Structure 1
Amino acid sequence: MTVPYETTKSLLLDAALTHVAFDGWSPATFKAAIRDADIAPAVARAVCPRGAVDLAIAFHHRGDDAMVARLKTENMADLKFRDKIAAAVRFRLEAVTDKEAVRRGTTLFALPMHAADGAKLIWGTADRIWDALGDTSDDVNWYTKRATLGGVYSATVLYWLGDDSPDHMSTWEFLDRRIEDVMQIEKLKARVRQSPTLSRLMTGPNWLMSHIKAPTRMPNMELPGSWTAPRE
């Protein structure tokens, strides 16, 4: 039987989520997911070579996909850009179907051996938000926008995990404060550019940063993929 690669991973993820609250993103969870999804261990390992770690990453990407899908359907034409950013972060958190799975994932990606994966996921979420909102920067701003938003997003997630206020209202207020902090930094940068003295001091750094370009994007070819299960 031929089963698409992503379908197999999705089945494993759905099965794993019933165990994550108890066992975390662990080998025990991955073993239980294989059993519950009725997928051959060899196939499961081919799809997720790192076991539950790959499923935790897939869970994060699933949330990103849901956020982008919602951004495409929401009418935000009348919102200020800072409010669009806040809405995107809120949509990302509201896309979470299992808060405990996020909590366990935060613990997993705080481990030294998985910290790089966690940083990549946060950067990826910020990148998808900026892309969805139509960012066209191709210089150093491409990096600073994503780094700044990644900091806002990660701080908001940590606050949200401990928030028990109705409808997470405290989290959205926290998010607004973090974005306001970023806006103050942007205002400071604008004043520096407008100051004859400070702008001259920044001539060298600005020249250097002008040579930094965004990475070249590979087109999404939508290539199909599948996995043929080995015979028992």
Structure 2
Amino acid sequence: MNNAFLKEQLLDAAIIHVAFDGWSEATFEAAVLDTDISPELARIACPRGAVDLAIAYHQRGDAEMLARFARDDVSALRYSEKVTTLVRFRLEAVDDKEAVRRGTTLFALPHHAGDGAKLIWGTADAVWTALGDTSTDSNWYTKRATLSAVYSSTVLFWLGDTSDDHADTWAFLERRIEDVMRFEKVKAQVNESAVLKPLLAGPKWALSFLKAPSSGPRNDLPGRWSEPT
């Protein structure tokens, strides 16, 4: 069995314990017992224990969002509506709200905050990539940073939402996306302004050196590393 398969087994077993013990060592040990996986193999698959399982749980949700987006016909939607739909798909991929609540608590801890930020950024990146984003300049970063903020605030709202079918959450999400669209319009107007355009020449020149990370392997280093299986 490879590490990915072991991690999936452990994650499936851990979910039932998360509501009681959070993404903790107790949850990880319970998952190991429930799956009959040896502690040594479990630790190889998840060196950080439940933290690695929490990360895998978030990434599973991203994968389910993309799978649903590939299945459903959204061609008739406007671009902004497609962004909204993908974020909604991401939240609807969650089958246990308490697992997300506990994950939010885990990744709010200072020593795990970097992991949490990386996961949110990864979700935003998955959305833009699914929509065919081809930006390679500073827009690559601003799009993902903006959507990361929208996604984070929507998750926090959703966690406390008790409305039918989370109707209040979807309305909140639509308002946030509308705010982003208004900001993009203002940005375009500023760029076209004869008065403001010269003032932005310096900052835009500096930002021109900011490029999106390469999608392929780096070739300026000896050898390469890949995730063990």
Counterpart of 1:229? none
2:141 is aligned with 1:146:
no
| Residue type of the alignment partner of 1:144 | T
Equivalent of 2:19 in 3, 18, 21: 21
The CA deviation string for residues 186-205 of structure 1, in whole angstroms up to 9 with x for no partner, is 11111111210100100111
2:77 is aligned with 1:79:
yes
The CA deviation string for residues 62-91 of structure 1, in whole angstroms up to 9 with x for no partner, is 000000111111111111110000000000
Q: Distance in 2 between matches of 1:224 and 1:24?
A: 27
Matches within 5 A, 1:2-81: 3-81=1-79
**Any idea what SS the aligned residue of 2:132 has?**
coil
Q: Which moved more, 1:203-212 or 1:42-51?
A: 203-212
Counterpart of 1:210? 208
| Residue type of the alignment partner of 1:137 | S
2:99 is aligned with 1:101:
yes
Matches within 5 A, 1:72-221: 72-218=70-216
| Residue type of the alignment partner of 1:201 | L
| Residue type of the alignment partner of 2:115 | D
| Residue type of the alignment partner of 1:141 | N
- For structure 1, which runs of at least 5 residues remain unmatched after alignment? 227-232
Q: Distance in 1 between matches of 2:177 and 2:210?
A: 25
The CA deviation string for residues 6-50 of structure 1, in whole angstroms up to 9 with x for no partner, is 110000000100100000000000000000011000000011010
**Any idea what SS the aligned residue of 1:198 has?**
coil
The CA deviation string for residues 108-131 of structure 1, in whole angstroms up to 9 with x for no partner, is 000001000000000000001111
Whether the 8 Å contact between 2:14 and 2:30 is mirrored in structure 1 is: yes
How far did 1:135 drift? Answer: 0.5
**Any idea what SS the aligned residue of 1:25 has?**
coil
How far did 1:218 drift? Answer: 2.5
Q: Which runs of 4 or more aligned residues in structure 1 lie more than 6 Å from their structure 2 counterparts after TM superposition? A: none
**Any idea what SS the aligned residue of 2:140 has?**
helix
Q: Distance in 2 between matches of 1:22 and 1:43?
A: 25
**Any idea what SS the aligned residue of 1:196 has?**
coil
Q: Distance in 2 between matches of 1:132 and 1:182?
A: 18
Q: Distance in 1 between matches of 2:202 and 2:19?
A: 52
| Residue type of the alignment partner of 1:66 | E
| Residue type of the alignment partner of 1:197 | V
RMSD: 1.2
How far did 1:224 drift? Answer: 9.3
- For structure 2, which runs of at least 5 residues remain unmatched after alignment? 218-225
Whether the 8 Å contact between 2:3 and 2:44 is mirrored in structure 1 is: no
Q: Distance in 2 between matches of 1:190 and 1:120?
A: 29
